Structure 1
């Protein structure tokens, strides 16, 4: 398999994380196409660039020659496809995804939560192999529609936001560890790792990418829905005693499920919570979605953990309660076609 030094890369979903990766990769000489829709795409096309505000406040743009597309067939066959969409959004691009995938194309998944391919290329307990993760992939549409053997996973630790159409702001973090779903260290996973490192990120190759997913999910399940429900930023959730207690109880339940599925956490709970607190006044992705009136990633982040708990016979009362509550908020927002924001008191 030929792995080019300068790759043709399509960012399928050039939002916060996809856009961050795409801009930095383009600036290292890779040929990047940014797939997006609506005002964000319009702004990129108008400026013939995607703008990035880096951690140090400097402003850079995607390299000259980058493409900004609203249809995947405009890009052609790629060497690397970065799936930057949220899990529930991928189904919409499946009918045209084949336009950019060739025999040697590598797919890099950046999704939060338990991915649709979790039990494919799986070396955990035999009883779970090749199951469909229904909460992430109802009916196995993604499982059947995407070749798992083409996939490499990354666990996304950086925080970024689309601060305005055509502008990405990098908020925190540079770690994108990568791994093959089967745990092998291959030429292609090393190729992806090297590209990300060259673009300024920390990207070690993992032999247990699922374990790292659980480590990330450990905090995400605890803080994302709670932040959406309370509008508390990470520093508040993880330091105020009432919030910190619920976060720790939730994380304890997540750890039990992960252990049952063959993954061990490499950090103690207290250290993970303290690390989240140090991020400061960051709004989680779910809180950003609530304030913008967007659909939240409830099923892939929380529903999948609830599903996994039922599969392996673990009780998760704290997670179940938060899951039910956040689903009710999503229902009300959809029914009322509304967003939920804190408003300052008058006077």
Structure 2
């Protein structure tokens, strides 16, 4: 089994290291700059729970060097995908699966879903269908990422918590390709269930991201401060309820209620959301994948979503002012 991690930062590196140590898969990492140089020179180091592991996956700079793969695990930020799709082409053989380990609404969202919206393009993440043309949704396997990790220096990843990567085919089938990947991840030490309704799980994660991320970028509050502040929490809750109405109109079922989801986020503590981290570091923020796409879907189903629309306008302005769009 040939598995390539495309965009091997913290999450991709964590996955690559454990898969490579297991030894049953031929693991290739595509990275760049000092991170790539460090991995090539000293291996890929992962620090977790007071221990360090060192793995030596194949580390290269380009897809051409890697060649065709059985699985390509994409761990980029969503806004990078339109530009990266062309670079990924040498990785794709006739049967290559693309594992979408990307936050937010994915480009394949309406593939295999049936009904009135089947095959629809989500413009916020797939402008003009550019991603779908190069990465056909039929190749996609959904992947919901739960671990938290950070590249603390080139070639070194600190794994903070979490060990689950939920997988799911867009059409809900339990395909052999999804099952084989699940088995490989489980053998590497992860939890990797194959879900028949992957969009349900996608929305539970997106539920928090669509609200906490942009609010934190506007207020610079860490998650604990945001949730314990009555006014910020009320805005987040209103956005989440709007998101729930959008998702349910598209057939999603929520296994928990909004207050339980907020309580779960509160347990994370003094955490800076990814959007706030990107703002502070002057990097592009995932505004469209995490919130712009939700508002686009709200238009599709006729949901007013006034709070989400207001916060979207403000966080877009914030990102433009900071040069982070």
Give the TM-score normalised by structure 1.
0.90
* Aligned match for 2:208, one of 219, 229, 249: 219
Residue 99 of structure 2 corresponds to: 108
Q: Which runs of 5+ in 2 are unaligned?
A: none
From 84, 98, 108, give the equivalent of 1:93: 84
Q: Is the 8 A contact 1:12 1:85 kept in 2?
A: yes
Secondary structure of the residue aligned to 1:282 is coil
Instruction: Verify the 8 A CA contact 2:298 2:304 in the aligned structure 1.
Output: yes
> What is the RMSD of the two structures over their aligned residues, measured on CA atoms?
1.5
Structure 1 residue ranges, 4+ long, deviating more than 6 angstroms after superposition:
none
1:119 equivalent in alignment to 2:123: no
Aligned residue for 2:159, secondary structure, equals strand
Q: Which is further off, 158-167 or 38-47?
A: 38-47
Is 1:61 aligned to 2:50, yes or no?
no
1:96 Cα shift?
3.3
Offset at residue 94 of structure 1 (A): 2.5
Deviation at 1:230, TM superposition (A): 1.8
8 A Cα contact 1:114 1:136, kept in partner: yes
The answer on 1:204 being equivalent to 2:197 is: no
Tell me what 2:12 maps to: 18
Matched, 1:321 2:316: no
Change (3 A) 1:304 1:235: same
Distance 1:74 1:141 in 2: 24
Q: Distance in 1 between matches of 2:21 and 2:228?
A: 39
C-alpha contact 2:107 2:137 (8 A) present in aligned 1: no
Aligned length: 324
Distance of 2:37 and 2:312 partners within structure 1: 36
Distance 2:4 2:251 in 1: 34
Q: Which residue of 2 aligns with 1:45?
A: 40
Secondary structure, counterpart of 1:90 in structure 2:
helix
Instruction: Give the secondary structure class of the aligned counterpart of 1:106.
Output: strand
CA distance in 2, matches of 1:323, 1:231: 16
Q: In structure 1, how many angstroms separate the alpha carbons of the residues matched to 2:261 and 2:76?
A: 26
User: 1:32 aligns to what?
Assistant: 27
| Cα distance in 2, alignment partners of residues 233 and 195 from structure 1 | 35
**SS class of match (2:157):** strand
Cα pair 1:172 1:279 within 8 Å, conserved: no
Secondary structure of 2:271's aligned partner: coil
CA distance in 1, matches of 2:210, 2:65: 37
Verify: 1:82 aligned to 2:73, yes or no: yes
Q: 155-164 or 236-245: which moved more?
A: 236-245
Gaps of 5+ in 1: 1-6, 338-347
Q: Can you list the C-alpha shifts for 1:201-233, whole angstroms capped at 9, x where unaligned?
A: 221111111111111100110111112222222
Q: Please state whether the residue corresponding to 2:22 is helix, strand or coil.
A: coil
CA distance in 1, matches of 2:88, 2:314: 35
Question: 1:188 matched to which residue of 2?
Answer: 177
What is the DSSP-based 3-state SS (H/G/I as helix, E as strand, rest coil) of the residue aligned with 2:252?
Answer: coil
- Give the alignment of 1:173-184 within 5 angstroms: 173-184=162-173
SS of residue matched to 1:32: strand
Deviates more, 1:233-242 or 1:219-228: 233-242
Cα displacement (A) at 1:270 = 1.0
1:236–1:277 CA contact under 8 A, matched in 2: no
Write out aligned runs for 1:252-271 (5 A).
Answer: 252-271=241-260
Asked whether 1:294 is paired with 2:283, we answer yes
String of CA shifts for 1:226-266, please: whole Å, max 9, x gaps: 12222222222223322222221111111000011111111
Partner residue of 1:234? 223
C-alpha distance in structure 2 between counterparts of 1:88 and 1:249, whole Å: 26
